[in-house]
A and B are shown apart, each in its own frame.
Chain A
Amino acid sequence: SQTIHQWPATLVQPVGSPLSLECTVEGTSNPNLYWYRQAAGRGLQLLFYSVGIGQISSEVPQNLSASRPQDRQFILSSKKLLLSDSGFYLCASTSTGLYTDTQYFGPGTRLTVL
């Protein structure tokens, strides 16, 4: 199965500061990659997904952006954080190809914007 790494594990940032969260995947090649946000006590909100290098689909309009500079690297960014960006950010990956439809998740990054 796949292993997904995320860092940092926790982050406290002031309003208006930039953001960069990184996700890397081991154990597969050419995966589909996803960024989700989970607000406190809430479900998962899909933010972005990518089917290949440089290919990003945005699900929700916001001040966040995503990039995929390498096959197994997925980055979530912001130029200026808002209070509402606080939450738990999860990176996920699925293998592509037949019979491989399970989504695997990283450990998450807890972001607090003050």
Chain B
Amino acid sequence: GNSVTQMEGPVTLSEEAFLTINCTYTATGYPSLFWYVQYPGEGLQLLLKATKADDKGSNKGFEATYRKETTSFHLEKGSVQVSDSAVYFCALSETGNQFYFGTGTSLTVIP
């Protein structure tokens, strides 16, 4: 079946530090992969996505590359800001009907 595993949090970083949040997936076919971000008290917002192997999704300084050989879609940012403090969810969808989410990784960036 389909599933997503992402690194346990919480993660605490100093401002301008490098961020990596690991995400690996299991899928029977060729899924699209997503990262969503949830700020406190809000719904999820799409951060970036990739629809096929070797695609790189990017937005707001965040990047993730679809690695089929390692079934991974790790989220990275070179220099985090306090405003990046949020919960980050990795997700996949094969059909566009069913979505599978990881458990979320909480990030806190301190000045």
Contacts and interface: CB of A to CB of B under 8 A. Distances in A.
B96 interface: yes
Interface string B99-111: 1011110100000
A107 B96 contact: no
Contacts, number: 55
A101 B103 contact: no
Interface stretch (B19-27, B44-52, B60-68, B69-77): B44-52
B43 A106 contact: yes
Interface string B13-50: 00000000000000000001010100001111110010
Contact of B93 (A103, A105, A108): A103
Interface of A: 4, 6, 32, 34, 41-44, 46, 49, 51, 90, 92, 94, 96, 100-108, 110
Interface of B: 32, 34, 36, 41-46, 49, 51, 89, 91, 93, 95-99, 101-104, 106
